[in-house]
Structure 1
Amino acid sequence: MRVRYVHRGYFPARAGAELMMQYLAEGMARRGLDVRLHAGRLDEDSARFMAGVGVRTEPLPRAADLAGADRPDVVHAFDAFHPEDLRAGLELARAWDVPFAVTPASAPGVWPDREAVLDACRAADAVFVLTGAERDMLAGEGVRPESLHLVAQGPHLPGTPDPERFRRAHGITGPMVLFLGRKMRSKGYTVLLEAARAIWERHPETRLVFVGPRWDEDCLEQFAAHADPRVIELGLVDEDDKHSALEACDLVCLPSTVDVFPLVYAEAWACSKPVIGSDFAGSEEVVRHGRDGLLVAAAPGPVAGAVVRLLDDPAERIRMGQQGNEKLRRELTWDAVTDRVHEVYTALVSAQRHKEGAR
């Protein structure tokens, strides 16, 4: 089976949608599929992104070149944050007359062109969603229910962790709360900054560690306004440091309000860490409140209260992390995701060949 993915990446950032595409593509390649990635744009950033993906990568073919290109069996476009990539994937699939699949991967609140995304999803032969809430929303917008397929999210931590080294390098001897992701307001980094004083009233030795690229234009000013030696801001880190930070922390706090299924939650559970999340569509499906994490309003008071609760009770914190890890191993693995997506690909290709045979 030949599958062509369409996605541009976020170089130099590493977003969840990008990682999902990469892990799925590499998983399919390990199964023996002929997998290639087409970048949705041609520039230096996309070239660097493509170079970092472990499958064959190529620019988007031009319409004039399609006749000479290897015809795939499926075209699969990723990420509604870049609706032009969904449109490009659909055009390729229609030009080749092969099934078209979409993984929106991002929440409607960050879609720059809602109708373009919905048009692509309505036209798709398969749409992969991460929660029941996402499935219901798309069905309500006219996407055919039979085309919607619920798949899970899985972690991928290829780095070699050294949590003691990470703590020594940053002078961390007490509790550590980790924010891991793009520093954008919808992810909740400003809320955690504003919660700091209340956290320190109870646990003054706590370090708040923020890992990820600056995204908001005023990000630097936000950290300057909350400057304190107990706030540690790091930018992009390598896989070893990322994994080390997850192992070194006591809990992960990402009070996101515009999300589908934050990859960092799965990564936290892979390291047996509880998570603190907030209200986004389907959040209660992702985080089981009181079992593998806490869901609170995205405001400084509730976030501080959740952090303090988990720091006050190490036994509860450890129990939640362990339950998250058990859920992960039972339900949230990339083998399970790849199995499910491969089943859908197989059904699409079979239906396409039956249709071609009937012509």
Structure 2
Amino acid sequence: MRVRYVHRGYFPARAGAELMTQYLAEGMARRGLDVRMHSGRMDDDSARFMAGMGIRVEPLPRTVDPGDPDRPDVVHAFDAFHPEDLRAGLELARAWGVPFAVTPASAPGVWPDRETVLDACRQADAVFVLTTAERDMMDAEGVPRRALHMVTQGPHLPGTADPGRFRSVHGISGPMVLFLGRKMRSKGYTVLLEAAPAIWERHPDTHLVFLGPRWDDDCLEQFRAHADPRIIEEGLVDEDDKHSALAACDLVCLPSTVDVFPLVYAEAWACAKPVVASDFAGSSEVVRHGHDGLVAAAAPGPVAEAVCRLLDDPAERVRMGRQGNEKLRRELTWDATTERVRQVYSALVSAQRHKEGAR
């Protein structure tokens, strides 16, 4: 089976949608599928990264030949944050006369062009969603129920964890709270910054560590306004530092308000760390409040209270981290997701061939 993915990525950042595309493509390649990535803007470094996983990266074709013997069997576009990529994928699939699949991967609150996204999803043969809340939203927007397929995702931490080194390098001896992700307001980094004084009232030796690309134009100004030796801010870090930070922290705090299923939560649970989340559509499905983390309103007071609750009670913190890890092992694996998506591809291709044979 030949599959063509359409996604541009966020290089040099690596956002959740990009990681989902890469891990799925890698899993399909391991299963023997002919996998290629089409991108209108992927740069040489991203292409080399994908090539290292055995995935060929090509520009978006300007023209296609429906009779090309090398035409794909399925086109799959990722990430509604780039609606033009969904449109390009749909046009390629229709020109080749093959099934079209979409993984929106991002929440409607960050879609730049809602109608383009929904139009692509309504015309898609398969739409992969991560929560029942996302599925119900798509259903309400006119996406055929038969096209909606629930999938999960899992962590991918290829780096080598050295939590002691991470703490030593940054001078951290007490509690450590980690924010990991793009520093954009909808992810909640400013909320955690504003929660810092209330956290320090109860746990004055706590370090707040922020890792990830600086996304907002005034990101550095925000950190200057909250400057304190107990706040550590770095931009992009390598896989070793990322894994080390997750292993070194006491909890992960990503109070996102516009999300579907932050991959960071799965990465936290992979390291047996609890999470502090905020309300977004489907958040209660992703984080079981009081079981593998806490869900708090996206405001400094509630976030500070949730963080302090976990810092107050090490036994509860450890219990939630372990339960998150157990859930991860039981429900959230890339192998299961890849197999589920492959089965949908196979059904689509069989139906397409049956249709062509009946003509």
TM-score (norm 1): 0.98
Q: Which residue number in structure 2 is paired with residue 239 of structure 1?
A: 239
Letter in 2 for 1:328: L
Q: Is the 8 A contact 1:121 1:143 kept in 2?
A: yes
5+ residue gaps, structure 1, are none
- Number of residue-to-residue matches in the alignment: 356
Work out the percentage of aligned pairs sharing the same amino acid. Answer: 81
CA distance in 2, matches of 1:210, 1:114: 31
Task: Report the secondary structure of 1:35's partner residue.
Answer: strand
Note the alpha carbon deviations across 1:84-130, whole angstroms, 9 max, x for none: 00000001100110000000000000000000000000000000000
Note the alpha carbon deviations across 1:198-255, whole angstroms, 9 max, x for none: 1011111100000001001110110000000000001100111100000000000000
Matches within 5 A, 1:1-359: 1-39=1-39, 41-42=40-41, 46-53=43-50, 54=53, 55-63=55-63, 70-359=70-359
Letter in 2 for 1:164: G
Note the alpha carbon deviations across 1:288-345, whole angstroms, 9 max, x for none: 0000000000000000001110001000000000000000000000011011101100
CA distance in 2, matches of 1:257, 1:46: 30
CA distance in 2, matches of 1:358, 1:62: 30
**How many angstroms does 1:49 deviate by?**
2.1
Task: Report the secondary structure of 1:102's partner residue.
Answer: strand
CA distance in 2, matches of 1:341, 1:264: 22
**CA-atom RMSD in angstroms:** 1.0
CA distance in 2, matches of 1:110, 1:50: 26
Letter in 2 for 1:143: V
In 2 relative to 1, CA 69–184 (structure 1 residues): closer, same or farther, beyond 3 Å? farther
Task: Report the secondary structure of 1:336's partner residue.
Answer: helix
CA distance in 2, matches of 1:19, 1:3: 17
In 2 relative to 1, CA 69–89 (structure 1 residues): closer, same or farther, beyond 3 Å? farther
**How many angstroms does 1:68 deviate by?**
5.0
**How many angstroms does 1:61 deviate by?**
1.1
Task: Report the secondary structure of 1:208's partner residue.
Answer: strand
Task: Report the secondary structure of 1:36's partner residue.
Answer: strand
CA distance in 2, matches of 1:194, 1:334: 35
Q: Is the 8 A contact 2:64 2:96 kept in 1?
A: no
Letter in 2 for 1:341: V
CA distance in 2, matches of 1:196, 1:94: 52
5+ residue gaps, structure 2, are none
**How many angstroms does 1:52 deviate by?**
1.5
In 2 relative to 1, CA 347–304 (structure 1 residues): closer, same or farther, beyond 3 Å? same
**How many angstroms does 1:51 deviate by?**
2.2
